[in-house]
Amino acid sequence: MPIDKALFSRLTLLLIGIGFAALLAAGAGLVWQVETTRNYASAVSSAQEVRVTTLRALSLLQDAEIGQRGFLLTGEESYLAPYHAAVEALPQAMARLAKLVLEDGGRPGPIAELRELATAKLAELARTIALQRAGERDQALAITRSADGRSSMDTLREMVAGVEARSAMRLAARSAGLEANGRALLIGAALAFVLMLAVTVGSAILAVRYTRELEQAQAEVTAANAGLEARVAERTAALAAVNEEVQRFAYIVSHDLRAPLVNVMGFTAELEAAVAPLSALLAAAEAEAPGLVTAEARAAVAEDLPEAIGFIRSSTERMDRLINAILRLSREGRRALRPEPVALDRLFEGIAASLRHQLDAAGASLEIAPGLPTIRSDRLALEQLFGNLIDNAVKYLDPARPGRITILARRLAGRVRIEVADNGRGIDPRDHARVFELFRRSGRQDQPGEGIGLAHVRALARRLGGEVTLESAPGAGSRFQVILPLEPPPMPTPSPEESPR
């Protein structure tokens, strides 16, 4: 099953959750165990205290009895010192014992009984001491001798032992509980450990699998990229080949068109040359035998032939110019570009200087904005490109106002936009696309030209890795924007061995 990103996130989160829960449970168990152990420790000490206090209470009672017995035997008051001390300390000890037993979780009943018995014992001792003092020694001894006194002390001993035993039992129960807890905790911790181990291994496997899938996907993307690059290179090469083919085609066609044109021109000239002897013959015939000369023959020699020859000649000359234009474009397209740093301001100054005569004749001004950048490009191509644009601007000025041509440039990211703007007659928006086509012109045809300049400009701009656009309206001037790269694009150059046929 392929792991997608969402599934991987969910699974990882789940595993982390399980691991965290196990850790939390183990931690809670540990806290619980520590708390239980602490309770147990305090239970041990309180059991100890119960024992000590019980023994102390018993020993106090025994002290009291010892004091009483000594006094009864000797009649000397000094033997009563332990008795007095015990009587004084006993209530506090009993109270403390009651409190401790209650705290230790014991029942209040046996303690109350013990207290009652102790109180009764003390009362008995007090009565015998009072009888002894009153001289009634025999009566006092009789009370002491009676089973009541002894059984009372024995009962006390038994009760104290009972209290002690119950405390010990409680302690043992707690100890067993502690042990059971410890075992449970150990098992729980082991389970948590196993769970965490499983979670860790699971996450690791998941992560490895996911990483492997990611790597695989990345490898696929890389391969796809490489394929894409290869395809782009292939297409570029194919385009370059097609371009080369078109250029060769243009070159060959224009050459092959020229060959018959040489004949047309040549034999037209021969015809023209033949008209001269014919005219002479006609003149002679008219002089000698006017009857032979018909009006048709006269018109044919004097008008029709020269007219036909004139049309043939002007048409072939025009055809020759067009073919030459195609040849020039084709040759320009085949020329290897030589990129070099070209300072645009100096380039435009050079073009302005070469067009100075036309500018002066048209009374036009050419302004070059300061701060034009330097780009790496083919100097000759740039000269032809902007030379054509500025030449057009000069040619198609509006006679109604003084001509003004401005050049300015703006740097864009990695490119530069150069603007050649004029206040000339402008171009109808319908013709904006047409004017860049070969042999197409726009507006009044009052200037010489074959409709080649802008086609050449666009071909050059594209060859330099740029583009040319036009904004213009009739009567409002034209604005040609040429966008060129600051650095020349890598371009396959036609091999120097290539030549037509």
Partner 1 sequence: MNAAAHAVTIVMIEDDEGHARLIEKNLQRAGVYNEVRHFTDGTSALEYLIGKNRPEHRPTLVLLDLNLPDMSGFDILVKLKADPQLRPAPVIVLTTTDDEREVRRCYELGCNVYITKPVNYDTFAQAVRQLGLFLAVIQVPPPP
The residues of the shown chain that bind partner 1, judged by CB under 8 A, are 251, 255-256, 258-263, 265-270, 316-317, 320, 331, 496, 499-501
- Contact predicate 126/143, CB 8 Å: no
CB of 261 to partner 1, least distance (A): 5
Of 422, 434, 428, 439, the closest CA to residue 478 belongs to 422
CB of 277 to partner 1, least distance (A): 15
CB of 429 to partner 1, least distance (A): 38
- What are the CA-CA distances from residue 226 to residues 39, 223, 231, 233 (Å)? 72, 5, 8, 10
- Contact predicate 319/311, CB 8 Å: no
CB of 274 to partner 1, least distance (A): 12
- Contact predicate 500/255, CB 8 Å: yes
Q: Toward partner 1, which CB reaches closer, 20 or 267? A: 267
- Which residue reads 């002897």 in tokens? 277
Q: Toward partner 1, which CB reaches closer, 338 or 376? A: 338
Alpha helices of 289-366 — where are they, by DSSP H? 295-299, 305-334, 344-354, 356-362
Q: Toward partner 1, which CB reaches closer, 265 or 438? A: 265
How far from each other are the two terminal CA atoms of the chain, in whole angstroms? 62
Residue 378, CA atoms < 13 Å, CB-side half-sphere = 20
Bridge partners, 482 (sequence order)? 418, 468
Q: Toward partner 1, which CB reaches closer, 214 or 262? A: 262
- Per-position b or e across 26-58, b if 16+ CB within 10 A of its CB: beebeeebeebeeebeebeebbebbbebbeebb
Instruction: Count CB atoms within 10 A of the CB of residue 115.
Output: 18
Q: Toward partner 1, which CB reaches closer, 317 or 428? A: 317
Report residue 198 as tokens. Answer: 């499983």
Q: Toward partner 1, which CB reaches closer, 303 or 317? A: 317
Report residue 10 as tokens. Answer: 């969910």
Q: Toward partner 1, which CB reaches closer, 141 or 278? A: 278
CA distance 170 to 452: 117
- What are the CA-CA distances from residue 387 to residues 79, 347, 353 (Å)? 144, 10, 11
CB of 380 to partner 1, least distance (A): 14
Q: Toward partner 1, which CB reaches closer, 451 or 500? A: 500
Q: What are phi and psi of 408, to 5 degrees?
A: -145, 160
CB of 241 to partner 1, least distance (A): 19
CB of 409 to partner 1, least distance (A): 34
| Sheet of 365-368, strand order | 365-368, 404-412, 415-422, 478-485, 467-472
Instruction: Count CB atoms within 10 A of the CB of residue 333.
Output: 20
- Contact predicate 40/199, CB 8 Å: no
To the nearest 10 degrees (0 to 180), the angle between helices 137-145 and 5-74 is: 140
CB of 270 to partner 1, least distance (A): 7
CB of 315 to partner 1, least distance (A): 12
Q: Toward partner 1, which CB reaches closer, 261 or 470? A: 261
CB of 339 to partner 1, least distance (A): 21
Residue 149, CA atoms < 13 Å, CB-side half-sphere = 21
Q: Toward partner 1, which CB reaches closer, 313 or 379? A: 313
CB of 262 to partner 1, least distance (A): 5
Q: Toward partner 1, which CB reaches closer, 328 or 395? A: 328
